[in-house]
C-alpha cells in the first residue's frame, strides 16, 4: 500500500515575500499547479479563495487565505491513469 504524504504549503507564503498574490501570479505562486483562469472561474462560482480584493485593476488574494484555501482542496489522488505504475490497461 502507498504511504500517506504530507506537503507543507505554508512554505509558499514564506518564500513568496509578499502578503498578497495577484491573480495573474497564481501560477508562479503555486508552482504551476493552479492557473489564473481556473481561479477566476472558481471565483465566479463562489468557490475561489476567500478574501480577494481589487488593487487598482488587479484582483489580489491575501497569501494566508490563498494557502488555506489550497490546503482545503488537497486530497489523495485515488484514480490511477493508464500510465501510472500499478494500473491495468
- Asked whether residue 49 is assigned to any structural domain, the reply reads yes
What is the count of structural domains for the chain? 1
- Asked whether residue 83 is assigned to any structural domain, the reply reads no
Q: pLDDT digits over 5-42, tens only?
A: 557 888 888 889 999 999 999 999 999 999 999 999 99
Residue 27: give its domain's CATH number. 1.10.1660
pLDDT at 76: 82
DSSP H helical ranges for 1-89: 10-16, 26-29, 36-44, 63-73
Percent of the chain with pLDDT over 70: 84
Structural domain including 20 reads: 10-73
pLDDT band for position 75 (cuts 50, 70, 90): confident
Of 35, 37, 67, the closest CA to residue 51 belongs to: 67
pLDDT greater than 60 at residue 3? no
pLDDT at 48: 97
- Asked whether residue 3 is assigned to any structural domain, the reply reads no
Amino acid at each position: 500500500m502507498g504511504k500517506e504524504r504530507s506537503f507543507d504549503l505554508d512554505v509558499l507564503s514564506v518564500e513568496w515575500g509578499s502578503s498578497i498574490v495577484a491573480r495573474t501570479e497564481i501560477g508562479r505562486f503555486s508552482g504551476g499547479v493552479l492557473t489564473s483562469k481556473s481561479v477566476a472561474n472558481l471565483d465566479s462560482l463562489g468557490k475561489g479563495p476567500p478574501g480577494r480584493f481589487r488593487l487598482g485593476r488587479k484582483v489580489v488574494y491575501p497569501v494566508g487565505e490563498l494557502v488555506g484555501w489550497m490546503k482545503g482542496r488537497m486530497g489523495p489522488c485515488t484514480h490511477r491513469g493508464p500510465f501510472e505504475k500499478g494500473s491495468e490497461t
